[in-house]
Amino acid sequence: MQITTGLRPFGGHSGLTPLLPADGDPTQSTDHLADQLRGGRLGAEELVSRYSVMLFERFGTYEEVARRANLDRRTAKRYVLLAKNGGT
């Protein structure tokens, strides 16, 4: 499985949205996500996927992602993998 640092476009979204800022610093990912939210640059599926990845990186299990995001465990896993596989 290849892990990428960007997402493919969802719906009408025309460009890639990086998971992390250009410097790749994971401590900045929350601020980066917040900036994209404020700028209106995320679709609903991309938002849930990015949030799921943040939870997974912090807590390390799909079960905890599911519990915190109020998702089924399989759905949480799908969203995490969606983001990490570049939207495929």
**Tens-digit pLDDT profile for residues 19-46:** 544 455 555 677 888 888 899 988 999 9
List the domains of the chain with CATH numbers. 27-32+42-88 (1.10.10)
Measured CA to CA, the distance from residue 14 to residue 27 in angstroms comes to 27
At 72 the pLDDT is 97
Region of residue 60 (left: phi > 0; alpha: psi -120 to 50; beta: else): left
Measured CA to CA, the distance from residue 60 to residue 54 in angstroms comes to 10
Cβ 52 vs Cβ 44: under 8 Å:
no
How much of the chain exceeds pLDDT 90, in percent?
A: 44
Whether the model pTM is above 0.85:
no
Region of residue 63 (left: phi > 0; alpha: psi -120 to 50; beta: else): alpha
Measured CA to CA, the distance from residue 56 to residue 63 in angstroms comes to 9
Position 49 pLDDT exceeds 90: yes
At 87 the pLDDT is 65
What's the whole-number average pLDDT of the chain? 76
For residue 2, name the pLDDT band (cuts at 50, 70, 90): very low
